[in-house]
Amino acid sequence: MKTAVFASLIAAATAFAPVTQKASSHSALRAFEDELGAQPPLNFYDPLGLVADGDEAKFNRLRYVELKHGRIAMIAVAGYLSAEAGYRFDGDIAIGGPAFADIPNGFAALSAIPSAGFWQIIAFIGFLEVAVMKDIVGGEFPGDLRNDYIDFGWDTFSEEEKLQKRAIELNNGRAAQMGILGLMVHEQLGVPILPGV
């Protein structure tokens, strides 16, 4: 009986002992663990295995798309909150149409905008996507759309400062993507976006 109790105590204790893990022989799985954006607590996070093959071109394309969506989400959050706070353009949204002040916030705005205006917005976004927001000359990193045209002082930064600023933009974009999703969900649930406004 004492032997059985002793054996069960040893088995229980070994359940909490640290396990040494054998190093993986698949270097492709570890190819991007030191890339920008691989930060605690998740480190490099690829739950769908999109870059499990270690293809750098695919990784760069996905990073470019992540940056673009992050930039769009940052603008969306700012626009959503400013509209919710009551800021509007002066004048009418269309010739003889409703005033900007008469357009509601959030999803309700989609049905209040005249259809020609809605299609103008879609066409403008398409124009930006096809003609403006592209990497023409091959920038320093995925998402570098300066195209040797504008600088804003980027070339005056050290490599460490550039890496830090890129990490800040990436993290702010990730947060904004979650933020705009949260704002849209709260609107659909009927929760006030800006309490007291």
Residue 69 has pLDDT above 90, yes or no: yes
Determine the Cα–Cα distance for residues 69 and 85; give it in Å rounded to an integer.
24
Given a contact cutoff of 8 angstroms between Cβ atoms, the answer to whether 171 and 74 are in contact is no
Mean pLDDT of 76-90: 93
Q: What was the pLDDT predicted at 197? A: 64
Task: Name which residue leads in pLDDT, 104 or 45.
Answer: 104
Closest CA to 27 of 58, 51, 60, 59: 51
pLDDT at 25: 39
